[in-house]
């Protein structure tokens, strides 16, 4: 059962608790009909709650502290993960992890943001906010993958690139820009998956690829709704409106032609059943990597640049 | 409209309107001295008393950077479609319309072909007066086409940045312009053509984190504020004041992210010299 319960999850969680209580006394009493009825009710409630989430509620699901993170997927979707460390210049950023792993017998490079689950691990991971050396480490690993002709899979889950003093000193902007430039030309397939939060340049810094996917309950935009609210409304209070205005959910981005595909999550979100979420992701990744691996480097790169060139809407 | 840069501000340079009492006399807000508009223009829009750089628009910048009469503009009327039908306290569509009326620009960048001492260049300059010089779909597309023109004409590309970053009102579309412009620059690079990135005060956010930092030559004007996160956000994050000169051009040069800091009056000469040396 989830440790953290969001407001809109509460009625469902309470019904579930009730069923659990009833089940413990079931041996003695004839109440299985009642339980069946309750379970049907939960199912209905789930369907109505999760098919009517507002954009802000989806942002909350994307940030759910029980949601699977990159290392969880690395344990469930892939095998033989061998973590590699460091950017070879400054240090090893713990907010981005990566290394070779196997996806159904095929060696791939997996790189992703990593958040922590409690205060201690969040401090260690810097809340999934990378410094320049994180982006440089990611690029180093991508080039390693390219050297050996292995596809790259990136998993995005960040509230943004770290806006700190040292990050500026070490060139946060240059690090992100360099990744965009280099990823555009990387001669191996790149599949990008938003697994949680996709905030701005910090997300895009490992987000240029041939296929861009979003898990069902994630968001991806130019700015977080709270920051958008504070700038445009001059108050932190308009985050719901900002989330609506930014149109930042997976269906929104599919409609905008920015992502290629939505990866389904278990009913109620990936945190309700991480193993099932991993299996759903695995199926999609195997499909995509198999498809892309048929392409030669040159047409692959050309198609990737054409894909990003088509993004945007103008009138002349 | 011209904008003045407060060069003595420690953290956030806020632009204030240049005072033009009778249309031909201007006051420098850095030193308070007056000068004639003609004197200001002759000094490449820097104060003749204290050297402070005025915040100027693309027409004014091209007037001393490019050979006279050499500039031909492309895609001038390309404008935003408001793809998200975005509304905050104002409708984005209204904001665009009002800004077009005010600035006589259709979006935040002017692009085209020009010459520097007879050498052809593809040039783009952002206009801070248009929604903070922010990058949405139009800026991304026009910059991309400027890159293509450099490739097609086998000439150098110059992008002059002055921007608060990606434009919020176009959501993820704006974010993707970072990837789009950077990807196109990788094609210019593959074609072996030079790219000069000139950063003015201020250049921040998604513009710095894409094409502005990718120059073969990264050049800035003295004291220009250049960074990823804005100073206010950083101050909030770390909970203390920022050191003097933080995120200024001199700081970036010291940290290794700029090739040159060039005073505005030397800009034409310096860029011309680089182009000549690459040619000979
Ligand atoms: Zn002055």
Span A46-103, pLDDT tens digits: 889 998 999 999 999 999 999 999 999 999 999 999 999 999 999 999 999 999 999 9
Q: Which of residues 202-241 of A touch B (CB under 8 A)?
A: 204-205, 207-208, 220-223, 228, 231-233, 238, 241
pLDDT at B11: 34
For residue A127, which residues of chain B lie inside 8 Å, CB to CB? none
DSSP β-bridge partners for residue B195: B157
Could you read off the pLDDT of A198-246 as tens digits, one per residue? 999 999 999 999 999 999 999 999 999 999 999 999 999 999 999 999 9
Q: Identify which of B89, B172, B184 has the shortest CB distance to residue A256.
A: B172
3-state secondary structure A81-110: EEECCCCCCCCCCCCEEEEEEEECCEEEEE
Distance from CA of A14 to the nearest CA of B (A): 37
CB contact under 8 Å between A207 and B182, yes or no, is: no
Candidates A311, A268, A259; CA nearest to A288 is A259
Could you read off the pLDDT of A103-140 as tens digits, one per residue? 999 999 999 999 999 999 999 999 999 999 999 999 99
Residue B239 contacts A where some CB pair is shorter than 8 Å: no
Contact B79, B96 (CB under 8 A): yes
pLDDT at A27: 65
CA B237, A234, A218: angle at the middle one, nearest 5? Answer: 65
Q: Identify which of B87, B173, B242 has the shortest CB distance to residue A313.
A: B173
Mean pLDDT in chain A? 95
For residues A44 and B187, give the distance between their C-alpha atoms in angstroms, rounded to a whole number: 53
ipTM: 0.96
For residue A247, which residues of chain B lie inside 8 Å, CB to CB? 84, 171-172
Instruction: Evaluate if residue A291 carries a pLDDT over 50.
Output: yes
Q: Identify which of A167, A173, A258 has the shortest CB distance to residue B172.
A: A258
| SS3 category, B158 | strand
Provide the 10 A C-beta neighbour count for residue A259.
24
Candidates B159, B208, B205, B231; CA nearest to B13 is B231
For residue A221, which residues of chain B lie inside 8 Å, CB to CB? 171-172, 175
CB contact under 8 Å between A248 and B75, yes or no, is: no
Full-model pTM: 0.94
Closest Cα in chain A to B208 = A173
Provide, for chain A, the percentages of residues in helix, strand and coil under a 3-state DSSP scheme, each rounded to the nearest 5: 50, 15, 30
CB contact under 8 Å between B209 and A176, yes or no, is: yes
Phi/psi of residue A131, nearest 5 degrees: -95, 175
CB contact under 8 Å between B175 and A177, yes or no, is: no
Give A23's pLDDT tier (boundaries 50, 70, 90): confident
The answer regarding whether domain B57-279 maps to CATH 3.40.50.720 reads no
Distance from CA of A25 to the nearest CA of B (A): 52
Does an H or E element contain A174, and which? helix A172-185
For residues A305 and B182, give the distance between their C-alpha atoms in angstroms, rounded to a whole number: 10
Contact B195, B236 (CB under 8 A): no
Distance B195 CA to ligand 1 centre (A): 32
Q: Which of residues 165-184 of A touch B (CB under 8 A)?
A: 165, 167-174, 176-178, 180-182, 184
DSSP β-bridge partners for residue A213: A193, A261
CB contact under 8 Å between A184 and B186, yes or no, is: yes
> Token pair of B24, please?
């031909």
pLDDT at A182: 98
CB contact under 8 Å between A204 and B175, yes or no, is: yes
Distance from CA of A60 to the nearest CA of B (A): 18
Local confidence pLDDT in tens for the 280 residues of chain B: 333 333 333 333 333 445 455 678 999 989 999 999 999 999 999 999 999 999 999 999 999 999 999 999 999 999 999 999 999 999 999 999 999 999 999 999 999 999 999 999 999 999 999 999 999 999 999 999 999 999 999 999 999 999 999 999 999 999 999 999 999 999 999 999 999 999 999 999 999 999 999 999 999 999 999 999 999 999 999 999 999 999 999 999 999 999 999 999 999 999 999 999 999 9
Does an H or E element contain B25, and which? strand B25-27
Instruction: Evaluate if residue A2 carries a pLDDT over 70.
Output: no
pLDDT at A84: 98
Distance from CA of B251 to the nearest CA of A (A): 8
Distance B27 CA to ligand 1 centre (A): 8
For residues A164 and B229, give the distance between their C-alpha atoms in angstroms, rounded to a whole number: 8
Q: Identify which of B81, B183, B212 has the shortest CB distance to residue A184.
A: B183
CB contact under 8 Å between A311 and B173, yes or no, is: yes
Question: What residues contact residue A36 under an 8 Å CB cut-off, 6+ apart?
Answer: none
What is the CA A299 to chain-centroid distance, rounded? Answer: 28
Distance from CA of A91 to the nearest CA of B (A): 17
| SS3 category, A39 | helix
Closest Cα in chain A to B254 = A169
pLDDT at A18: 86
Domain boundaries, chain B: 1-56, 57-279
Distance B7 CA to ligand 1 centre (A): 9
For residue B187, which residues of chain A lie inside 8 Å, CB to CB? 305
Q: Identify which of B138, B183, B238 has the shortest CB distance to residue A305.
A: B183
Q: Identify which of B77, B171, B246 has the shortest CB distance to residue A246.
A: B171
Candidates A105, A103, A96, A104; CA nearest to A154 is A96
């Amino acid at each position: 059962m989830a440790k953290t319960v969001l407001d809109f999850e509460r009625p469902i969680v309470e019904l579930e608790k009730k069923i659990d209580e009833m089940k413990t006394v079931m041996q003695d009493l004839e109440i299985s009909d009642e339980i069946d009825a309750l379970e049907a009710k939960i199912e209905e409630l789930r369907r109505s709650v999760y098919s009517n989430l507002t954009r802000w509620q989806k942002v909350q699901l994307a940030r759910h502290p029980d949601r699977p993170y990159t290392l969880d997927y690395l344990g469930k979707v892939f095998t033989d993960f061998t973590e590699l460390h460091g950017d070879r210049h400054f240090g090893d950023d713990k907010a981005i992890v990566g290394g070779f792993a196997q996806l159904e017998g095929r060696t791939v490079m997996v790189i992703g943001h990593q958040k922590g689950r409690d205060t201690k691990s969040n401090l260690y991971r810097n809340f999934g906010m990378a410094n320049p050396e994180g982006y440089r480490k990611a690029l180093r690993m991508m080039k390693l993958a390219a050297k050996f002709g292995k596809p790259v899979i990136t998993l995005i889950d960040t509230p943004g690139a770290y806006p700190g003093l040292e990050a500026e000193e070490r060139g946060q902007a240059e690090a992100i820009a360099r990744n965009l430039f280099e990823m555009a030309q990387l001669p191996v397939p790149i599949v990008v998956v938003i697994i949680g939060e996709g905030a701005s340049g910090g997300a895009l810094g490992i987000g240029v690829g041939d296929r861009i996917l979003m898990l069902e309950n994630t968001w991806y935009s130019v700015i977080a709704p709270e920051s958008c609210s504070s700038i445009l409304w001059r108050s932190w209070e308009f985050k719901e409106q900002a989330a609506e205005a930014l149109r930042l959910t997976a269906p929104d981005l599919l409609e905008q032609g920015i992502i290629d595909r939505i990866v389904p999550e278990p009913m109620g979100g990936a945190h309700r059943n991480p193993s099932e979420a991993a299996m759903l992701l695995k199926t999609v990744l195997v499909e995509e990597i198999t498809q892309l691996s048929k392409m030669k480097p040159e047409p692959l790169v050309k198609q990737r640049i054409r894909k990003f060139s088509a993004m945007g809407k103008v009138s002349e | 409209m011209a904008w003045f840069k407060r060069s003595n501000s420690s953290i956030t340079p806020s632009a204030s309107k240049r005072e033009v009492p009778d249309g031909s006399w201007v006051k420098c807000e850095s030193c308070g001295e007056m000068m004639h508009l003609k004197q200001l223009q002759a000094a490449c829009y820097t104060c003749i008393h204290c050297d402070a750089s005025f915040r100027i628009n693309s027409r004014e910048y091209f007037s001393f950077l490019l050979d006279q009469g050499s500039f031909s503009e492309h895609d001038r009327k390309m404008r935003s479609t408001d793809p998200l039908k975005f509304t905050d306290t104002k409708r984005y569509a209204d904001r665009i319309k009002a800004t077009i009326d005010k600035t006589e620009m259709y979006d935040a960048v002017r692009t085209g072909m020009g010459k520097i001492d007879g050498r052809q260049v593809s040039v783009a300059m952002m206009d801070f007066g248009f929604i903070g010089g922010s990058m949405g779909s139009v800026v991304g597309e026009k910059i991309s086409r400027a890159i293509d023109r450099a490739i097609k004409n086998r000439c150098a590309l110059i992008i002059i940045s002055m921007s608060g970053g990606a434009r919020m009102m176009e959501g993820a579309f704006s974010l993707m312009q970072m990837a789009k412009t950077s990807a196109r620059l990788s094609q210019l690079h593959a074609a072996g053509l030079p790219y000069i990135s000139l950063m003015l005060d201020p250049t921040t956010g998604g513009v710095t984190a894409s094409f502005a930092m990718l120059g073969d030559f990264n050049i800035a004007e003295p004291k220009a504020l250049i960074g990823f996160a804005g100073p206010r956000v950083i101050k909030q994050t770390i909970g203390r004041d920022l050191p003097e000169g933080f995120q200024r051009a001199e700081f970036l040069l010291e940290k290794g992210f700029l090739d040159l800091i060039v005073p505005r009056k030397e800009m034409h000469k310096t860029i011309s010299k680089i182009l000549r040396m690459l040619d000979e």
